[in-house]
């Protein structure tokens, strides 16, 4: 979860998000190097009173400023293509989570083993505990097992929504009448917070997402408990 004075991305809780952070840092490093080089050249030209008589019609400098940006773009494109390959869909998920966006709450359904369905509303401020997070906690957490490939099927019942959890590197649009799909794997237990990222009405800011990642025995125990209720 993002905290005060945090300028960077949230810590990755999935292999996809970790790779996204690596690519971000890689690109930022290249941008800093290019900015430093251009700044140095501009500064040296500004304080230089001499004139280079070979500046006009300089074939060498034209070749350099054509090839160098192309090489830089290749160094950015190759990790980007690798990341796009890693983001590709899987064919055999271990668990499917169905999600439907409403104004203004989320509905979750586990239908692989037993038919478990529940709504997840934002926790009102009056009911929030002292350790809770304002505008982020919900009354029913979405429980998911750790180290398991999870397929997310998402749609909406009324207007456009967007199911987003930054720590997992997941952002999927919920479109009425359309079924979108993505997949992710959570590599550590914990609570991961997200929010709707598509302006969907007056209470758009009040439909948060809470993913609780637990071990497989705890997930099975929770599944048995909620199916009996």
Q: Which CATH number covers residue 176?
A: 2.60.40.420
Identify whether 63 is part of a domain.
yes
Asked whether residue 128 falls in the same domain as residue 83, the answer is no
Token digits for 129? 């505990």
Instruction: Choose one of 25, 53, 88: the last residue of a domain.
Output: 88
Whether the pLDDT of residue 36 is over 90: the answer is: yes
Using pLDDT thresholds of 50, 70 and 90, give the confidence band for residue 57: confident
Identify whether 7 is part of a domain.
no
Kindly list the distances between the CA atom of residue 56 and the CA atoms of 47, 59, 101, in Å, as whole numbers in the listed order.
20, 9, 61
Average pLDDT of the chain? 87
Asked whether residue 73 falls in the same domain as residue 153, the answer is no
Query: What is the three-class DSSP state of 32?
Result: helix
Contact 169, 16 (CB under 8 A): yes
Q: Specify the pTM.
A: 0.79
Token digits for 198? 């598509």
User: For position 27, which CATH number holds?
Assistant: 1.10.287.90
Count structural domains, the chain.
Answer: 2
Q: Phi and psi for 170 in degrees, rounded to 5?
A: -120, 130
Asked whether residue 113 falls in the same domain as residue 73, the answer is no
pLDDT one-digit tens code per residue, 126-138 = 878 777 788 888 8
Asked whether residue 109 falls in the same domain as residue 126, the answer is yes
> C-alpha angle 97/103/106, rounded to 5°?
20
Identify whether 27 is part of a domain.
yes
Asked whether residue 48 falls in the same domain as residue 135, the answer is no
Contact 174, 162 (CB under 8 A): yes
pLDDT one-digit tens code per residue, 175-184 = 999 999 888 8
Instruction: Choose one of 58, 88, 118: the last residue of a domain.
Output: 88
Q: What percent of the chain has pLDDT over 70?
A: 96
Burial of 26 (0-12, 13-18, 19+ CB in 10 A): middle
pLDDT one-digit tens code per residue, 129-173 = 777 788 888 888 899 999 888 999 999 988 999 999 999 989 999
Query: What is the three-class DSSP state of 193?
Result: strand
Whether the pLDDT of residue 227 is over 90: the answer is: no
What is the Cα–Cα distance from 96 to 183, expressed in whole angstroms? Answer: 9
Contact 1, 193 (CB under 8 A): yes
Asked whether residue 99 falls in the same domain as residue 207, the answer is yes
How much is the pLDDT for 90? 67
> C-alpha angle 136/5/83, rounded to 5°?
75
Instruction: Choose one of 61, 88, 115: the last residue of a domain.
Output: 88
What is the Cα–Cα distance from 87 to 85, expressed in whole angstroms? Answer: 5
Token digits for 50? 């001499």
Identify whether 121 is part of a domain.
yes
Asked whether residue 116 falls in the same domain as residue 204, the answer is yes
Domain that holds residue 158: 95-228
Beta pairing partners, 109: 98, 117
Identify whether 205 is part of a domain.
yes
Asked whether residue 144 falls in the same domain as residue 40, the answer is no
Asked whether residue 70 falls in the same domain as residue 179, the answer is no
């Amino acid at each position: 979860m993002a905290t005060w004075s945090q300028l960077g991305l949230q810590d990755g809780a999935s292999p996809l998000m970790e790779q996204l952070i690596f690519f971000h840092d890689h690109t930022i490093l290249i941008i800093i190097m290019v900015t430093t080089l251009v700044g140095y050249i501009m500064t040296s030209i500004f304080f230089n009173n001499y004139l280079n008589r070979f500046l006009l019609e300089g074939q060498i400098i034209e070749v350099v400023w054509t090839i160098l940006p192309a090489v830089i773009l290749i160094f950015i494109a190759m990790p980007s293509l690798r990341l796009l390959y890693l983001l590709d869909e899987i064919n055999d998920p271990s668990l499917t989570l169905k999600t439907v966006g409403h104004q203004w709450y989320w509905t979750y359904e586990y239908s692989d083993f037993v038919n478990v369905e529940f709504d997840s509303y934002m926790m009102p401020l009056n009911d929030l505990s002292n350790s809770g997070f304002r505008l982020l906690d919900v009354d029913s957490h979405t429980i998911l097992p750790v180290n398991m490939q999870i397929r997310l099927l998402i749609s909406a019942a009324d207007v456009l929504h967007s199911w987003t959890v930054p720590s997992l590197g997941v952002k999927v649009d919920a479109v009425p009448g359309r079924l979108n799909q993505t997949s992710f794997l959570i590599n550590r237990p914990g609570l991961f917070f997200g929010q709707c990222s598509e302006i969907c009405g007056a209470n758009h800011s009040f439909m948060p997402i809470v993913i609780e990642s637990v071990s497989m025995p705890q997930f099975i125990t929770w599944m048995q408990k909620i199916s009996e209720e």
